[in-house]
Amino acid sequence: MKRTLLRSGAFVRTAKRIVKTHPGSAEDIEAALELLSDDAFHPRLTTHKLKGDLEGSWACTVGYDLRIVFSFVKHEKSEAILLEAVGTHEEVY
């Protein structure tokens, strides 16, 4: 089931900054978003629940040190994914 991706303002700002400083990461982010939309639990994404302050959110791997933090939400009566943050392991956790 393909899910709609909803991008938060924080996600968009951070993604633009990352792509500006590391242009090669744009393809990695797009590939991860496509997989996330198609199958949030695809093995390549290593999707996992978060604990602590981020409890209720999930994270997936974009590349070596990039992560996307997201939540499953309802949007227009269907399941969607709210993209909350993107960044290195240290930046998002």
- DSSP character for 65? S
* pTM for the full predicted model: 0.94
Both tokens of residue 86?
A: 């993107």
Check residue 64 and give its pLDDT. 81
Both tokens of residue 30?
A: 């797009």
Check residue 79 and give its pLDDT. 93
Check residue 20 and give its pLDDT. 96
Where residue 46 falls (left for φ over 0; alpha for ψ -120 to 50; beta otherwise) is left
The fold for domain 4-92 equals YaeB-like fold (3.30.2310)
Q: Tell me the β-bridge partners of 62.
A: none
Both tokens of residue 70?
A: 């997201």
Q: What is the mean pLDDT of each run of 10 residues along the chain (93 residues)?
A: 94 96 93 97 97 96 93 94 95 87
Check residue 34 and give its pLDDT. 97
CA dist., res. 18 & res. 12, Å (int): 10
Residues 6+ apart with CB under 8 A from 39: none
